[in-house]
Protein backbone atom coordinates (compact mmCIF):
# COMPACT_ATOMS: atom_id res chain seq x y z
CA UNK A 1 0.00 0.00 0.00
CA UNK A 2 1.33 3.43 -0.95
CA UNK A 3 2.10 6.02 1.76
CA UNK A 4 -0.85 8.23 0.76
CA UNK A 5 -3.18 5.24 0.95
CA UNK A 6 -1.84 4.36 4.38
CA UNK A 7 -2.45 7.92 5.54
CA UNK A 8 -6.02 7.94 4.23
CA UNK A 9 -6.73 4.56 5.85
CA UNK A 10 -5.33 5.80 9.15
CA UNK A 11 -7.44 8.94 9.04
CA UNK A 12 -10.59 6.96 8.25
CA UNK A 13 -9.81 4.54 11.06
CA UNK A 14 -9.21 7.37 13.52
CA UNK A 15 -12.47 9.03 12.51
CA UNK A 16 -14.43 5.82 12.94
CA UNK A 17 -12.76 5.17 16.28
CA UNK A 18 -13.61 8.67 17.48
CA UNK A 19 -17.23 8.30 16.46
CA UNK A 20 -17.44 4.96 18.25
CA UNK A 21 -15.86 6.46 21.35
CA UNK A 22 -18.44 9.24 21.62
CA UNK A 23 -21.09 8.14 24.05
CA UNK A 24 -24.56 9.53 23.33
CA UNK A 25 -26.14 12.19 25.47
CA UNK A 26 -29.41 11.07 27.08
CA UNK A 27 -32.41 13.37 27.48
CA UNK A 28 -35.75 12.55 29.09
CA UNK A 29 -38.82 14.77 28.80
CA UNK A 30 -41.20 13.61 31.55
CA UNK A 31 -44.62 15.22 31.33
CA UNK A 32 -47.00 15.34 34.30
CA UNK A 33 -50.55 13.92 33.95
CA UNK A 34 -50.53 14.19 30.15
CA UNK A 35 -53.20 11.92 28.69
CA UNK A 36 -52.49 9.24 26.11
CA UNK A 37 -54.26 11.18 23.38
CA UNK A 38 -53.14 14.73 24.21
CA UNK A 39 -50.24 15.05 21.71
CA UNK A 40 -51.40 15.51 18.12
CA UNK A 41 -49.35 12.47 17.06
CA UNK A 42 -51.64 10.40 19.32
CA UNK A 43 -54.86 12.01 18.08
CA UNK A 44 -54.96 15.20 20.16
CA UNK A 45 -56.75 18.23 18.72
CA UNK A 46 -57.06 20.63 21.66
CA UNK A 47 -53.59 22.16 21.31
CA UNK A 48 -50.88 21.83 18.66
CA UNK A 49 -47.83 19.86 19.77
CA UNK A 50 -45.40 20.16 16.85
CA UNK A 51 -42.29 19.40 18.86
CA UNK A 52 -43.57 16.20 20.43
CA UNK A 53 -44.88 15.30 16.98
CA UNK A 54 -41.39 15.86 15.56
CA UNK A 55 -40.00 13.25 17.96
CA UNK A 56 -42.54 10.78 16.60
CA UNK A 57 -41.71 11.71 13.01
CA UNK A 58 -37.97 11.42 13.56
CA UNK A 59 -38.05 8.36 15.80
CA UNK A 60 -40.40 5.75 17.23
CA UNK A 61 -43.94 6.21 18.51
CA UNK A 62 -45.12 3.41 20.78
CA UNK A 63 -48.85 2.71 20.78
CA UNK A 64 -48.64 0.55 23.91
CA UNK A 65 -46.26 2.54 26.08
CA UNK A 66 -46.76 2.28 29.83
CA UNK A 67 -45.60 3.57 33.17
CA UNK A 68 -45.47 1.40 36.28
CA UNK A 69 -47.82 3.56 38.35
CA UNK A 70 -51.02 5.54 37.94
CA UNK A 71 -49.81 8.46 40.11
CA UNK A 72 -46.78 10.73 40.18
CA UNK A 73 -44.26 9.69 42.82
CA UNK A 74 -44.16 5.90 42.29
CA UNK A 75 -43.94 6.48 38.54
CA UNK A 76 -40.83 8.56 39.17
CA UNK A 77 -39.38 5.83 41.40
CA UNK A 78 -39.66 3.44 38.45
CA UNK A 79 -38.08 5.94 36.06
CA UNK A 80 -35.21 6.77 38.40
CA UNK A 81 -34.36 3.16 39.33
CA UNK A 82 -35.42 0.95 36.42
CA UNK A 83 -37.14 -1.19 39.05
CA UNK A 84 -40.75 -1.69 40.05
CA UNK A 85 -41.52 0.70 42.89
CA UNK A 86 -43.17 -2.22 44.72
CA UNK A 87 -39.64 -3.50 45.43
CA UNK A 88 -39.33 -0.74 48.01
CA UNK A 89 -43.04 -0.55 48.92
CA UNK A 90 -43.33 2.87 47.26
CA UNK A 91 -46.80 2.30 45.79
CA UNK A 92 -48.22 5.71 46.60
CA UNK A 93 -47.29 9.40 46.67
CA UNK A 94 -46.24 9.02 50.30
CA UNK A 95 -42.61 8.78 51.36
CA UNK A 96 -39.18 9.49 49.88
CA UNK A 97 -37.19 7.47 47.39
CA UNK A 98 -35.59 4.73 49.49
CA UNK A 99 -31.95 5.51 50.26
CA UNK A 100 -31.01 1.95 49.28
CA UNK A 101 -32.14 2.54 45.69
CA UNK A 102 -29.60 3.62 43.06
CA UNK A 103 -30.81 6.23 40.57
CA UNK A 104 -30.25 6.48 36.84
CA UNK A 105 -28.19 9.62 37.58
CA UNK A 106 -25.84 7.63 39.81
CA UNK A 107 -25.55 4.91 37.17
CA UNK A 108 -24.77 7.46 34.44
CA UNK A 109 -22.38 9.40 36.63
CA UNK A 110 -20.44 6.21 37.33
CA UNK A 111 -19.66 5.91 33.61
CA UNK A 112 -18.53 9.49 33.16
CA UNK A 113 -21.71 11.45 32.46
CA UNK A 114 -22.57 14.93 33.73
CA UNK A 115 -26.07 14.67 35.21
CA UNK A 116 -28.99 17.05 35.72
CA UNK A 117 -32.58 17.06 36.92
CA UNK A 118 -34.63 20.10 35.96
CA UNK A 119 -38.21 20.25 37.16
CA UNK A 120 -40.51 18.31 39.43
CA UNK A 121 -38.85 15.84 41.81
CA UNK A 122 -41.54 14.49 44.18
CA UNK A 123 -39.19 11.94 45.78
CA UNK A 124 -38.00 13.74 48.89
CA UNK A 125 -37.52 17.22 50.31
CA UNK A 126 -34.57 16.90 52.70
CA UNK A 127 -30.91 17.51 51.92
CA UNK A 128 -30.30 13.76 51.83
CA UNK A 129 -33.26 13.10 49.55
CA UNK A 130 -33.23 16.00 47.06
CA UNK A 131 -31.78 15.30 43.57
CA UNK A 132 -28.37 16.70 44.52
CA UNK A 133 -28.00 13.84 47.01
CA UNK A 134 -29.16 11.22 44.50
CA UNK A 135 -26.54 11.60 41.80
CA UNK A 136 -27.49 14.81 40.01
CA UNK A 137 -24.64 17.28 39.50
CA UNK A 138 -27.10 20.06 38.66
CA UNK A 139 -30.69 20.28 39.84
CA UNK A 140 -33.41 22.89 40.05
CA UNK A 141 -37.19 22.73 40.11
CA UNK A 142 -40.21 22.09 42.30
CA UNK A 143 -40.07 19.70 45.23
CA UNK A 144 -43.60 18.51 44.45
CA UNK A 145 -46.76 19.80 42.86
CA UNK A 146 -47.57 23.42 42.11
CA UNK A 147 -50.25 25.09 44.20
CA UNK A 148 -52.69 27.92 43.60
CA UNK A 149 -50.47 30.85 44.54
CA UNK A 150 -47.08 29.22 44.09
CA UNK A 151 -46.34 25.67 45.16
CA UNK A 152 -47.45 23.37 47.93
CA UNK A 153 -43.96 22.21 48.82
CA UNK A 154 -41.61 24.84 47.44
CA UNK A 155 -38.69 24.74 45.06
CA UNK A 156 -35.07 23.63 45.24
CA UNK A 157 -31.77 24.50 43.64
CA UNK A 158 -29.12 21.96 44.50
CA UNK A 159 -29.38 21.33 48.24
CA UNK A 160 -31.06 24.68 48.90
CA UNK A 161 -34.82 24.87 49.45
CA UNK A 162 -36.43 27.99 47.97
CA UNK A 163 -39.88 29.54 48.50
CA UNK A 164 -40.07 30.55 44.84
CA UNK A 165 -38.30 30.58 41.49
CA UNK A 166 -38.51 33.55 39.15
CA UNK A 167 -41.27 32.91 36.68
CA UNK A 168 -43.17 30.36 38.78
CA UNK A 169 -45.82 29.05 38.78
CA UNK A 170 -45.44 29.17 34.98
CA UNK A 171 -42.52 26.77 34.99
CA UNK A 172 -42.24 25.25 31.50
CA UNK A 173 -40.26 28.14 29.94
CA UNK A 174 -38.22 28.48 33.14
CA UNK A 175 -37.28 24.80 33.03
CA UNK A 176 -36.43 25.04 29.33
CA UNK A 177 -33.96 27.87 30.08
CA UNK A 178 -32.34 25.93 32.92
CA UNK A 179 -32.11 22.81 30.75
CA UNK A 180 -30.52 24.74 27.90
CA UNK A 181 -28.01 26.28 30.29
CA UNK A 182 -26.96 22.84 31.49
CA UNK A 183 -26.63 21.56 27.92
CA UNK A 184 -24.56 24.60 26.93
CA UNK A 185 -22.22 24.10 29.88
CA UNK A 186 -21.95 20.35 29.29
CA UNK A 187 -21.79 20.29 25.49
CA UNK A 188 -18.42 18.55 25.46
CA UNK A 189 -20.40 15.62 26.85
CA UNK A 190 -21.48 13.10 27.56
CA UNK A 191 -24.41 14.28 29.65
CA UNK A 192 -27.69 12.98 31.05
CA UNK A 193 -30.65 15.30 31.62
CA UNK A 194 -34.16 14.65 32.90
CA UNK A 195 -36.53 17.56 32.30
CA UNK A 196 -39.60 16.80 34.43
CA UNK A 197 -42.45 19.21 33.74
CA UNK A 198 -45.14 20.37 36.16
CA UNK A 199 -47.44 20.61 33.13
CA UNK A 200 -50.10 19.48 32.58
CA UNK A 201 -50.81 18.69 36.25
CA UNK A 202 -53.22 21.12 37.87
CA UNK A 203 -53.24 24.00 38.42
CA UNK A 204 -53.05 24.58 34.68
CA UNK A 205 -51.05 27.77 34.22
CA UNK A 206 -49.38 29.34 31.21
CA UNK A 207 -47.93 32.64 30.05
CA UNK A 208 -50.29 35.30 28.73
CA UNK A 209 -48.89 35.00 25.21
CA UNK A 210 -49.73 31.30 25.07
CA UNK A 211 -53.14 31.75 26.70
CA UNK A 212 -53.96 34.28 23.99
CA UNK A 213 -53.57 31.57 21.34
CA UNK A 214 -56.82 29.93 22.49
CA UNK A 215 -59.45 32.72 22.54
CA UNK A 216 -62.22 30.38 21.41
CA UNK A 217 -61.97 28.19 24.53
CA UNK A 218 -63.59 28.85 27.89
CA UNK A 219 -61.26 29.56 30.77
CA UNK A 220 -60.43 26.17 32.27
CA UNK A 221 -60.23 24.40 28.94
CA UNK A 222 -58.10 27.27 27.64
CA UNK A 223 -55.79 26.95 30.64
CA UNK A 224 -55.33 23.22 30.00
CA UNK A 225 -54.68 23.73 26.29
CA UNK A 226 -52.18 26.50 26.97
CA UNK A 227 -50.38 24.45 29.62
CA UNK A 228 -49.96 21.62 27.11
CA UNK A 229 -48.87 23.98 24.33
CA UNK A 230 -46.33 25.75 26.54
CA UNK A 231 -44.78 22.44 27.62
CA UNK A 232 -44.45 21.53 23.95
CA UNK A 233 -42.87 24.94 23.29
CA UNK A 234 -40.33 24.17 26.02
CA UNK A 235 -39.50 20.86 24.37
CA UNK A 236 -38.98 22.78 21.15
CA UNK A 237 -36.65 25.22 22.88
CA UNK A 238 -34.46 22.38 24.16
CA UNK A 239 -34.46 20.61 20.79
CA UNK A 240 -33.43 23.87 19.12
CA UNK A 241 -30.52 24.16 21.57
CA UNK A 242 -29.38 20.66 20.67
CA UNK A 243 -29.45 21.54 16.98
CA UNK A 244 -27.61 24.82 17.46
CA UNK A 245 -24.79 22.98 19.24
CA UNK A 246 -24.74 20.11 16.75
CA UNK A 247 -25.78 17.60 19.43
CA UNK A 248 -29.12 16.29 18.23
CA UNK A 249 -27.73 13.42 16.13
CA UNK A 250 -25.90 12.03 19.15
CA UNK A 251 -28.64 12.46 21.74
CA UNK A 252 -31.00 9.66 22.76
CA UNK A 253 -34.32 11.33 23.62
CA UNK A 254 -37.33 9.93 25.47
CA UNK A 255 -40.67 11.73 25.85
CA UNK A 256 -43.13 10.08 28.25
CA UNK A 257 -45.96 11.09 30.58
CA UNK A 258 -45.70 10.03 34.23
CA UNK A 259 -49.26 8.64 34.31
CA UNK A 260 -52.71 9.17 32.83
CA UNK A 261 -54.78 12.32 32.88
CA UNK A 262 -56.40 14.21 35.75
CA UNK A 263 -58.42 16.72 33.73
CA UNK A 264 -61.87 16.61 32.09
CA UNK A 265 -60.32 18.31 29.06
CA UNK A 266 -57.74 15.59 28.38
CA UNK A 267 -58.06 13.25 25.41
CA UNK A 268 -57.91 9.58 26.37
CA UNK A 269 -58.58 8.28 22.85
CA UNK A 270 -61.17 5.84 24.17
CA UNK A 271 -59.11 4.38 27.01
CA UNK A 272 -60.96 3.54 30.20
CA UNK A 273 -60.13 5.31 33.45
CA UNK A 274 -57.77 8.09 34.45
CA UNK A 275 -54.97 8.83 36.87
CA UNK A 276 -55.38 6.95 40.20
CA UNK A 277 -56.71 3.84 38.44
CA UNK A 278 -55.03 0.85 36.80
CA UNK A 279 -57.31 0.87 33.81
CA UNK A 280 -55.45 1.68 30.60
CA UNK A 281 -56.29 5.38 30.96
CA UNK A 282 -54.24 5.55 34.15
CA UNK A 283 -51.09 3.78 32.95
CA UNK A 284 -50.91 3.84 29.11
CA UNK A 285 -49.21 7.07 28.06
CA UNK A 286 -47.48 8.83 25.16
CA UNK A 287 -44.12 7.10 24.67
CA UNK A 288 -41.70 8.56 22.11
CA UNK A 289 -38.03 7.86 21.40
CA UNK A 290 -35.66 9.67 19.02
CA UNK A 291 -31.99 9.07 18.29
CA UNK A 292 -31.33 10.45 14.85
CA UNK A 293 -27.90 8.96 14.58
CA UNK A 294 -29.11 5.44 15.38
CA UNK A 295 -32.90 4.86 15.30
CA UNK A 296 -34.84 4.72 12.00
CA UNK A 297 -37.39 7.53 11.71
CA UNK A 298 -41.15 7.45 11.47
CA UNK A 299 -41.84 4.01 12.96
CA UNK A 300 -44.97 3.10 14.91
CA UNK A 301 -44.45 0.12 17.21
CA UNK A 302 -47.15 -1.77 19.11
CA UNK A 303 -44.83 -3.80 21.35
CA UNK A 304 -45.59 -3.01 25.02
CA UNK A 305 -42.84 -1.02 26.72
CA UNK A 306 -42.62 0.66 30.12
CA UNK A 307 -40.70 3.56 31.64
CA UNK A 308 -38.59 1.06 33.60
CA UNK A 309 -36.87 0.37 30.26
CA UNK A 310 -35.36 3.85 30.05
CA UNK A 311 -32.50 3.18 32.47
CA UNK A 312 -31.20 -0.07 30.92
CA UNK A 313 -31.66 1.34 27.41
CA UNK A 314 -29.67 4.47 28.27
CA UNK A 315 -26.89 2.41 29.85
CA UNK A 316 -26.80 0.05 26.87
CA UNK A 317 -26.57 3.03 24.52
CA UNK A 318 -23.56 4.19 26.54
CA UNK A 319 -22.06 0.69 26.19
CA UNK A 320 -22.18 0.12 29.94
CA UNK A 321 -22.55 -3.27 31.57
CA UNK A 322 -25.96 -4.14 33.03
CA UNK A 323 -25.27 -6.18 36.15
CA UNK A 324 -27.71 -8.90 37.32
CA UNK A 325 -27.03 -7.86 40.92
CA UNK A 326 -28.91 -4.61 40.27
CA UNK A 327 -32.15 -6.60 39.80
CA UNK A 328 -33.41 -4.24 37.11
CA UNK A 329 -36.97 -4.84 35.93
CA UNK A 330 -36.64 -2.77 32.77
CA UNK A 331 -34.99 -4.15 29.63
CA UNK A 332 -32.74 -2.76 26.91
CA UNK A 333 -34.95 -1.59 24.05
CA UNK A 334 -32.15 -0.79 21.57
CA UNK A 335 -32.70 -3.92 19.43
CA UNK A 336 -36.40 -3.08 19.16
CA UNK A 337 -35.75 0.62 18.53
CA UNK A 338 -33.28 -0.18 15.78
CA UNK A 339 -35.85 -2.21 13.89
CA UNK A 340 -35.52 -5.69 15.34
CA UNK A 341 -38.58 -7.90 15.19
CA UNK A 342 -38.04 -9.73 18.48
CA UNK A 343 -39.92 -9.04 21.70
CA UNK A 344 -38.27 -7.61 24.81
CA UNK A 345 -37.09 -10.47 27.07
CA UNK A 346 -39.72 -10.42 29.79
CA UNK A 347 -42.68 -12.55 30.80
CA UNK A 348 -45.22 -9.83 31.56
CA UNK A 349 -45.76 -6.29 32.87
CA UNK A 350 -47.02 -5.88 36.44
CA UNK A 351 -48.77 -3.19 38.47
CA UNK A 352 -49.67 -2.79 42.14
CA UNK A 353 -51.38 0.23 43.62
CA UNK A 354 -52.61 -0.60 47.10
CA UNK A 355 -55.70 -2.80 46.65
CA UNK A 356 -55.54 -2.40 42.87
CA UNK A 357 -53.43 -4.64 40.67
CA UNK A 358 -52.93 -5.50 37.02
CA UNK A 359 -50.81 -7.71 34.79
CA UNK A 360 -50.39 -7.64 31.01
CA UNK A 361 -49.03 -10.60 29.05
CA UNK A 362 -49.22 -10.27 25.29
CA UNK A 363 -52.65 -8.84 24.51
CA UNK A 364 -54.19 -10.22 27.71
CA UNK A 365 -54.68 -8.09 30.80
CA UNK A 366 -56.05 -8.99 34.21
CA UNK A 367 -57.06 -5.89 36.16
CA UNK A 368 -58.57 -5.11 39.54
CA UNK A 369 -59.10 -1.34 39.51
CA UNK A 370 -61.14 -0.93 42.70
CA UNK A 371 -60.99 -2.35 46.20
CA UNK A 372 -64.27 -4.20 45.94
CA UNK A 373 -64.26 -5.36 42.31
CA UNK A 374 -63.46 -8.85 41.07
CA UNK A 375 -60.43 -9.04 38.76
CA UNK A 376 -61.46 -8.59 35.14
CA UNK A 377 -59.86 -10.32 32.14
CA UNK A 378 -59.69 -8.34 28.90
CA UNK A 379 -58.02 -8.75 25.53
CA UNK A 380 -56.55 -5.40 24.55
CA UNK A 381 -56.12 -6.34 20.90
CA UNK A 382 -59.83 -5.94 20.30
CA UNK A 383 -61.04 -4.27 23.51
CA UNK A 384 -58.76 -1.34 24.28
CA UNK A 385 -61.57 0.29 26.28
CA UNK A 386 -61.67 -2.70 28.67
CA UNK A 387 -65.43 -3.07 28.35
CA UNK A 388 -65.79 -6.85 28.17
CA UNK A 389 -64.86 -9.29 30.93
CA UNK A 390 -63.69 -12.58 29.40
CA UNK A 391 -63.15 -14.38 32.70
CA UNK A 392 -66.00 -16.82 32.15
CA UNK A 393 -64.95 -17.89 28.66
CA UNK A 394 -61.19 -17.88 29.31
CA UNK A 395 -60.97 -19.12 32.89
CA UNK A 396 -57.60 -20.81 32.33
CA UNK A 397 -56.00 -17.58 31.12
CA UNK A 398 -57.49 -15.68 34.06
CA UNK A 399 -56.04 -18.24 36.46
CA UNK A 400 -52.66 -18.16 34.71
CA UNK A 401 -52.37 -14.39 34.95
CA UNK A 402 -53.53 -14.34 38.57
CA UNK A 403 -50.88 -16.93 39.42
CA UNK A 404 -48.16 -14.96 37.65
CA UNK A 405 -49.10 -11.76 39.46
CA UNK A 406 -49.25 -13.55 42.83
CA UNK A 407 -45.79 -15.01 42.25
CA UNK A 408 -44.41 -11.59 41.28
CA UNK A 409 -45.99 -9.87 44.26
CA UNK A 410 -45.07 -12.50 46.88
CA UNK A 411 -41.54 -11.23 47.64
CA UNK A 412 -42.52 -7.55 47.54
CA UNK A 413 -42.78 -5.60 50.80
CA UNK A 414 -46.19 -4.13 51.67
CA UNK A 415 -46.90 -0.54 50.59
CA UNK A 416 -45.36 2.10 52.83
CA UNK A 417 -47.36 4.78 54.63
CA UNK A 418 -50.92 4.70 55.89
CA UNK A 419 -52.39 4.17 52.42
CA UNK A 420 -54.49 7.31 52.34
CA UNK A 421 -53.41 8.01 48.77
CA UNK A 422 -54.48 4.63 47.42
CA UNK A 423 -57.24 3.39 49.71
CA UNK A 424 -59.92 4.76 47.42
CA UNK A 425 -60.76 8.05 49.15
CA UNK A 426 -58.49 10.18 46.97
CA UNK A 427 -59.66 8.22 43.94
CA UNK A 428 -63.26 9.09 44.75
CA UNK A 429 -62.34 12.70 45.46
CA UNK A 430 -60.48 12.99 42.15
CA UNK A 431 -63.42 11.55 40.23
CA UNK A 432 -65.86 13.90 41.98
CA UNK A 433 -63.61 16.85 41.17
CA UNK A 434 -63.51 15.90 37.50
CA UNK A 435 -67.29 15.83 37.42
CA UNK A 436 -67.51 19.24 39.11
CA UNK A 437 -65.10 20.97 36.74
CA UNK A 438 -67.17 22.65 34.05
CA UNK A 439 -65.97 25.19 31.51
CA UNK A 440 -66.58 28.70 32.80
CA UNK A 441 -66.22 32.13 31.27
With a pLDDT cut of 70, the percent of the chain lying above it is 88
Q: What is the residue-averaged pLDDT of the chain?
A: 91
pLDDT confidence of residue 292 = 97
> Looking at residue 419, what is its pLDDT?
59
With 90 as the cut, is the pLDDT of residue 435 above it? no
Query: In terms of DSSP H, where are the helices of 186-259?
Result: 208-211, 219-244
Share above pLDDT 90 across residues of the chain, in percent, rounded to a whole number: 83
pLDDT in tens, 23-38: 999 999 999 999 999 9
Q: Which residue has the higher pLDDT, 427 or 328?
A: 328
pLDDT in tens, 133-154: 999 999 999 999 987 444 567 9
Whether 12 has a pLDDT exceeding 70, the answer reads: no
Per DSSP, which regions of 298-424 are E strands? 299-301, 305-306, 349-353, 356-361, 364-368, 376-379
pLDDT in tens, 88-123: 999 999 889 999 999 999 999 999 999 999 999 999
Instruction: Give kind and range of the element (H or E) at residue 107.
Output: helix 104-110
Indicate if the pLDDT at residue 1 is higher than 70: no
Q: Determine whether 274 is an active site residue.
A: no
153 DSSP assignment: S
Q: Which residues contact 418 (CB under 8 A, 6 or more apart)?
A: 94
Residue 10: per-residue pLDDT: 45
Active site residue 72: yes
When pLDDT is averaged across residues 169-190 and rounded to a whole number, the result is 97
Residues 6 or more apart whose CB falls under 8 angstroms from that of 407 comprise none
Query: Is 412 buried (19+), middle (13-18) or exposed (0-12) by CB count in 10 A?
Result: middle
pTM summary value:
0.92
> 122, 194, 201, 255: which one is catalytic?
122
**Residue 11, pLDDT above cutoff 50:** no
Is the pLDDT at 312 greater than 90, yes or no?
Answer: yes
Q: How far is CA 228 from CA 51, 73, 155, 235, 275, in A?
A: 11, 21, 21, 11, 17
How much is the average pLDDT of 145-169?
81
Quick check: 424 pLDDT over 60?
no
Residue partners of 14: CB distance under 8 A and separation at least 6: none
Proportion of the chain in helix, strand, coil states, percent, rounded to 5: 35, 15, 50
Count CB neighbours of 221 within 10 A: 20
For residue range 227-260, list pLDDT tens digits in order.
Answer: 999 999 999 999 999 999 999 999 999 999 999 9
pLDDT number for residue 149: 42
How many Cα atoms within 13 Å fall on the side-chain side of residue 102?
Answer: 12
Q: What is the pLDDT of residue 189?
A: 87
- Say which of 41, 51, 70, 72 is annotated catalytic: 72
Q: Which of 234, 233, 277, 282 is nearest to 258 (CA)?
A: 282
Please give the average per-residue pLDDT across 270-291, as a whole number: 97
Amino acid sequence: MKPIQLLIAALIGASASGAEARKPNVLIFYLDDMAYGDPACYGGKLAPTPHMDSLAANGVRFTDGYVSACVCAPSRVGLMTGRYQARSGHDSNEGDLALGETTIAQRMKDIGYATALVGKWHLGSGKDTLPAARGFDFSVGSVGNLGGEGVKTGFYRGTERLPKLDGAPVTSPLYAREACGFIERSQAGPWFLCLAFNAVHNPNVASEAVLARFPELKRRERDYAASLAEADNAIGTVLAKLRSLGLEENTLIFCISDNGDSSPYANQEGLRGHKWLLWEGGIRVPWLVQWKGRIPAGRVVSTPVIQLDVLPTALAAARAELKPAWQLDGVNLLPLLEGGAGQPPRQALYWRFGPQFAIRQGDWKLVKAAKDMEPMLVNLANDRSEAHDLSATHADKRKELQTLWDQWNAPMPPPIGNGKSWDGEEVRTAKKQQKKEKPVK
